[in-house]
A and B are shown apart, each in its own frame.
Chain A
């Protein structure tokens, strides 16, 4: 589904590259963890996969098409869904409105279907009262569930998550990673999670470790 070909990234000089000649592939129905020390460049790598930035070298292929050719905006709109550590919800909206807005922007086949949005939030354990509240009035765990529900409500086949459990306690962490596993295994989507938590990585199907500018698959 997603193929990283000879990708390299640096900020100012190639000599100071975060990583170079990266070749990885990600398949649908699988979950992947990208681990590494802080500052190693895993979030930067994720931003390349999410179409938030362009690689300095190499190319990223989505269904055999270079995402630069697809257009990063189109790619983000149609093919990829992003979950952030800080949830990144629309703070002036309720949980339902957050889902409806994302569905409308991404052109989901369920655009405008409020019942679908409610079902999605319900599946993620949010009560009806909580769904109608402004998202800022929800707990961190609940907000992250809304963010994941938003991802599920959109039709993107690729889900990338940047430290999705970074702000959550242990119980919530397990529940959230479980949700990602379900998205991968039950909905057939490709889930890529950047994390520094070994426990989270262990729950994923595959783990790639970024160490000393090089990616390696951990068994």
Chain B
């Protein structure tokens, strides 16, 4: 192991050269580390983004099948009617038990006419056909949910409870409701008051107890554009059981739709396939919405691919730079190599000496890069965190994606959560988790090991390239000629 001793003597004797090599190698290692950190951060960001975007599965009536049935039964004498089946809660519970289904919400909506109070009337509503504030379809929308906090509009902050509380699963089989603040203000209603509504078709009145008041941030804009019961101010939230009661006894233990949150978006297809086996697919359909998940996946794949390219590009560039330096170093040390050869030293041991010197340089450089990498990591974390936040925000922002769907519901972020408890029946969409995980771009021991591996590979290749000169060197030419 004399070559190790020689390597040490050479490194300590030629301090200037050693420091220069440490600086160059540190710079290369820092670039490789930055690439590795970007790649790791891209992996983490992808996992975070996938988790935060999520995906959902919606169980609703099979509309296409219903249309086919309608066409079959239609005749010239009678007007065709579209018969949509309500979703059975027993089916919902079966699907909810499937693997990777983390939660579910059911939605049941209907319309009523205000009796003890006045619905908000909009100026545009009278200009629209069938837009009367008091018509056969009712001027108030009753949206039955499992829990308002799980409802998309409340979840994404479009609606906020300002007084009292929201609807919870404890409100099942009660007449508790949450009304909009504009409606409360116009009719001088407050939490604890009781209001009366009557069925929009047929007879029957219902007393509703106000347990909370919510504020619809988009009500002012929406109210001018939406007629009658579509105005957010005319929407009251209650438990889905009470909505079913208003709709009639045949709607007991049913819902317009149920939305299941799939914890692992990549498993959504298998969940759908398993779910289809549990339902009558002629009557019901399971629709998936993992478009946001796929978008995020594709976008993150690009970042990861870019990071991979950076790592390899820097590694290749580093190898070339270091190889050139080692080649120059070997040329400068031809005389020393000649002496070693004249003493009978084997060529591979001379190559091993240079490799050992570079390994020692690499160890110091790794330490330097590790310290520098801490700052690079922090900077990258900040950058990527903001990137991830921007991506999530742009996907959840109202109107950020597509146009509105029928029913006047804002799309974009609302579409992502639509189909949940607050969604229009049959509407589907993915689900967005509100939790934002902290992006960890710190330099870990594993990163350093990986960096060390890259470093070793770089110096090994550089030494091998440079060693061609050593292997061909004739001591006579160096020492005598």
Contact = CB atoms under 8 A, between A and B. Distances in A.
A99 to B, nearest CB: 11
Interface stretch (B125-133, B220-228, B333-341, B443-451): B333-341
Contacts of A105: 2, 340, 343-345
A85 to B, nearest CB: 9
Contacts of A93: 9, 13
B344 A78 contact: yes
Contacts of B338: 88
Main secondary structure of the interface of B (DSSP, over half): helix
Contacts of B269: none
Interface in B455-481: 474-476, 479-480
Interface in B309-351: 335-336, 338-346
A39 to B, nearest CB: 12
A52 B480 contact: yes
A3 B2 CA distance: 33
A47 interface: yes
B374 interface: no
Interface in A34-91: 43-44, 47, 50, 52-53, 73-78, 82, 84, 88-91
A90 B342 contact: no
A162 B476 CA distance: 12
Given A84-B479, A101-B2, A104-B2, A134 B343 contact: no
Given A76-B342, A88-B335, A104-B2, A97 B480 contact: no
Nearest to A75: B344
A102 interface: yes
B10 interface: yes
Contacts of B342: 50, 52, 76, 82, 88
Contacts of A106: 343-344
Contacts of B335: 88
Contacts of A91: 336
Contacts of B340: 105
B6 interface: yes
Contact of A92 (B5, B9, B346): B9
Contact of B5 (A76, A88, A101): A101
Determine the interface band of chain B, counting residues with CB < 8 A from chain A: 20 to 34
Interface in B1-24: 2, 5-6, 9-10, 13-14
Contact of B344 (A77, A84, A92): A77
B480 A47 contact: yes
A52 B476 contact: yes
Contacts of A47: 476, 480
Contacts of A92: 9-10, 13-14
Contacts of A88: 335, 338-339, 342, 479
A52 B475 contact: yes
A43 B479 CA distance: 11
B463 to A, nearest CB: 19
A105 B2 CA distance: 7
Contact of A102 (B5, B9, B343): B343
A166 B13 CA distance: 28
Nearest to A89: B339
A97 B9 contact: yes
A89 B5 CA distance: 16
A43 B345 CA distance: 22
Interface string A175-204: 000000000000000000000000000000
Interface in B261-294: none
Most buried by A among B335, B339, B344: B344
B2 A162 contact: no
Nearest to B10: A92
Contacts of B341: 73, 76
Contacts of B13: 92-93, 134
B344 A74 contact: yes
B125 to A, nearest CB: 94
Nearest to B13: A92
Contacts of B475: 52
A218 B267 CA distance: 97
Contacts of B479: 52, 84, 88
Given A76-B343, A106-B344, A90 B480 contact: no
A217 to B, nearest CB: 24
A76 B9 contact: no
A77 B343 contact: yes
Contacts of B474: 52-53
B1 to A, nearest CB: 9
A48 to B, nearest CB: 9
Nearest to A82: B342
Nearest to A97: B9
Contacts of A77: 343-345
Given A73-B346, A90-B336, A53 B10 contact: no
A101 B6 contact: yes
B393 to A, nearest CB: 60
A88 B343 CA distance: 11
**Could you say which of B14, B336, B342, B479 has the most chain A C-beta atoms within 10 Å of its C-beta?**
B342
Contacts of A84: 479-480
Given A90-B336, A92-B13, A101-B6, A53 B476 contact: yes
A171 B9 CA distance: 33
A106 B342 CA distance: 10
Given A88-B335, A90-B339, A162 B480 contact: yes
Contacts of A162: 480
30 contacts: A43-B480, A47-B476, A50-B342, A52-B479, A52-B480, A53-B474, A53-B476, A73-B341, A73-B344, A73-B346, A74-B344, A76-B341, A76-B342, A76-B343, A77-B345, A84-B479, A88-B335, A88-B338, A88-B339, A90-B6, A90-B336, A92-B10, A93-B9, A97-B9, A101-B2, A101-B6, A104-B5, A105-B344, A134-B13, A154-B343
Given A78-B344, A88-B339, A90-B336, 15 more contacts: A43-B480, A47-B476, A50-B342, A52-B474, A52-B479, A73-B341, A76-B343, A77-B344, A88-B338, A88-B342, A90-B9, A91-B336, A92-B10, A101-B9, A105-B344
